[in-house]
Amino acid sequence: MDSEIPKAVVDVSRFMGGERPTETKDYIMQQTMIRVKDPMKSLEFYCDVLGFRLVMYREFPQWEFNVYFVAPANVADIPGTPEDQWKYCMNFPGCIELTWNYGSEKSDGAVYNTGNGDATGTQDGQKIKGGFGHIGISVPDVYAACERFKKLSVTFTKTPNSGGMKGLAFVKDPDGYLIEILPQGPMITQPVDCDGIAVDGGVGYKDNSK
């Protein structure tokens, strides 16, 4: 019955209208930072699999960590000097900052908690519901992208036709962080996905944070 379905009761309409505060008109959502165990494996995933480019990096041996900024940039647009790369990066919306703490690559197993029903780093070994959920990547064709990901041996937690929400997918990066694969247009479906699951199969919804 409809009465059993929770209803959204918060009116958020005012946040979709009106001008931004004048002081914030040039603000950019520039980056999300995640810690990674092995920078080479992470760079291979984000650059070779997702097609991002390394637009800037900084090394801080005195503090034993490096940062690598990746983004869906055109190689020809990336400046040649560190100073110009910094400016380019800080003005590029939606970068991902991969932070590597020296020595983490030598650890056995997972190092960082992904926030989605993950027991990594907990003292009692119990899974926790963290605040981080996923990074979202939109593509022209979700099904074609997932066929390619499968050929590249990417780990899926949801293929396009599995689960209750059809036409989108979730894959994992080398550290287990979830990457949502979304269409750049309408949420369309295809009869069969990369795992051979029919669009009318794979019913149900799984909340990975639980």
Distance CA(205)–CA(87), nearest Å, equals: 42
Active-site residue, from 59, 83, 97, 180: 180
Residue 180 is among the residues annotated as catalytic for this protein: yes
- Using 70 as the pLDDT threshold, list the residues of the chain that sit under it: 1-6, 8, 202-210
What confidence tens digit (pLDDT) does each residue in 112-139 have? 999 887 778 777 888 877 789 999 999 9
Distance CA(186)–CA(107), nearest Å, equals: 43
What confidence tens digit (pLDDT) does each residue in 33-63 have? 999 999 999 999 999 999 999 999 999 999 9
Is pTM, for the whole model, over 0.75?
yes
Q: Answer yes or no: are the C-beta atoms of 138 and 182 closer than 8 Å.
A: yes
pLDDT reported for residue 84: 98
pLDDT reported for residue 189: 97
Q: What is the rounded radius of gyration, in angstroms, for the C-alpha atoms of the chain?
A: 20
How far is the CA of 14 from the CAs of 10, 11, 26, 74, in angstroms?
A: 11, 8, 21, 36
pLDDT reported for residue 1: 46
Q: How many CB atoms lie within 10 A of CB 177?
A: 23
Q: How far apart are the first and last CA of the chain?
A: 25
> Which position has the token pair 């020595």?
103
Which is nearest to 156 in space by CA: 173, 143, 144? 173
- DSSP character for 24? G
How far is the CA of 32 from the CAs of 41, 70, 99, 168, in angstroms?
A: 18, 10, 11, 22
Alpha carbons within 13 angstroms on the beta-carbon side of residue 139 total 24
